[in-house]
Amino acid sequence: MAKKLVDSIQMEVRSTQPCRREFDITVPADVVKSETEKTLREFAGAIAVPGFRQGKAPVAMIRSRYEKEIREELQRRIMYAAFELAGKDEANDILTCGIEGNPELKFDSEFKFTLGADVAPEFEVGDYKAIKVEIPVDAVTDEQVEERVKFYRTMYGNYADVEEPARAEDMLKVSYKGDMAVPEDATPAVKRQLEADNTFIWLSDPESIPGCIAALTGAEKGKEVVFDAVYPADYREAALAGKTVKYTVTVLGIQRRAALTDEELAEKARVKNLDEFRDMLRKAMEQENASKNHNEVVEAVYKRLSDGAGEFELPPNVLQAEIQKELQKIARETVRSEEDAEKFKTEIEEHKAAAEKAARAALRKTFILRKIARLEKISLNQGEVDAQLRDMSRYYGYREKEFRAMLEKNGGMDDLQLDILNAKVLNQLAENAKK
């Protein structure tokens, strides 16, 4: 059986700095010649040359006419084999890998080149399975249950028309229009956000239009209200992110909720009586406390892990990329106008320091959990990713297919998968820590 290309390559590994490896690759001349002939035969069999039946053109002619394409294909095969060889040794936990310089491949000569790779840092995680955490779960009091009942009395309350000026928690029937031209490629959500007739706006969080609660509190039926809505830089609809839109809102009607009686609330909640509703609420609140407790255990477990790992170097190139990502995040959250942009520039060093701090913390956590995932053979399956995408698309009001495409376009899919994996590792450790 002929040797595979990857088994015919010679490789030497050098550590030039922490979290960096260089792989010096040598492909012997006879291997280059053999792979060249193999590639030539494949080209000859696939290419139709005028005057010859397909696959019957002289190899020398094929080599002469398609030398550039043959060289590129041969180099591609050798590079992939080199990447495969470099990744075979698990000690080389490669994060990113690329060719250094511009090596020249000659068909009948030895081929040498160097792969430069960022690798995961080396550190010990200690006996992470022995970590135990005891945090008591908060009890649910009768007073808390009654406060929740009071909340639902109002939330489930029926709306009725009022003639008074609008106040917080009211529902307003309105028609509105923004002064921003609707983009030609605007989504239906953007179109609805910029103009709507006979629709409703609730004067409660989360705001449907930024600033609408303050602007419409005190509004009267039959009157117009004009206000500026400043959309955050990270607003879910990119067409509106960071924009200021002047809205003219016509108030068509004002409705207010009246608190329900015991009987009305029980009927609304589809229970026999209010005691059954209280029991249902108590169980839900106990579940909330259990979830809160789990999160506290997760935080405590990670702190123990991080303390035990000690200090370790981070891959410089990976760190710089993460710093840039954090800096862009800060910019999205703070820059909403030209004035904000100028202020951001004057404070750039401060923002860079904050971005570096956040990047180092994020990468440290990623590498610690990544190492445990490898030790415990914890991985993701496509079903887990799909489930998270479904939940997120519902939350943000997108179709799942559109949300997936958006993440893939802006590079967010890798981050999503990393977040899911990190959570999976921490949840497993937290459950073990509570036993």
Sign of CA dihedral 235, 239, 242, 248: negative
Label residues 129-143 b or e (16+ Cβ within 10 Å = b). Answer: eebebeeeeeebeee
Please tell me the distance from the alpha carbon of residue 238 to that of residue 410, in angstroms, as a whole number.
12
DSSP secondary structure string for all residues of 57-79: S-HHHHHHHTHHHHHHHHHHHHH
Residues contacting 9, CB < 8 A, separation 6+: 25, 26, 27, 31, 78, 81, 82, 85
Sole residue written with tokens 């992470």: 128
Query: DSSP character for 117?
Result: E
Instruction: Give yes or no for a contact between 222 and 251, defined as CB atoms under 8 angstroms apart.
Output: yes
435 residues of the chain, pLDDT tens digit each: 457 898 899 999 998 788 999 999 999 999 999 998 888 888 877 777 777 777 677 777 878 888 888 899 999 999 999 999 998 887 788 998 889 888 988 888 999 999 999 999 999 998 999 999 999 999 999 999 999 999 999 888 888 999 999 999 999 999 999 999 998 888 899 999 999 999 999 999 999 999 999 999 999 999 999 999 999 988 888 889 999 999 999 999 999 988 899 999 999 899 999 999 999 999 999 999 999 999 999 999 999 999 999 999 999 999 999 999 999 999 988 887 777 888 899 999 999 999 999 999 999 999 999 999 999 999 999 999 999 999 998 888 888 888 888 888 887 888 899 999 999 999 999 999 987
Task: Enumerate the β-bridge partners of residue 198.
Answer: none
- pLDDT tens, 353-374? 999 999 999 999 999 999 999 9
Residue 206 preceded by cis peptide, ω within 30 = yes
Please tell me the distance from the alpha carbon of residue 37 to that of residue 44, in angstroms, as a whole number.
10
Using a pLDDT cut of 90, give the percent of the chain over it.
Answer: 64
Residues contacting 127, CB < 8 A, separation 6+: none
Nearest one of 32, 29, 28, 25 to 115, comparing CA atoms: 25
Q: Under DSSP, is residue 20 helix (H, G, I), strand (E, B) or coil?
A: strand
Residues in the chain, total? 435
Q: Quick count: other Cβ atoms within 10 Å of Cβ 9?
A: 20
Which domains are assigned to the chain? 5-119 (3.30.70.1050), 158-258 (3.10.50.40), 280-434 (1.10.3120.10)
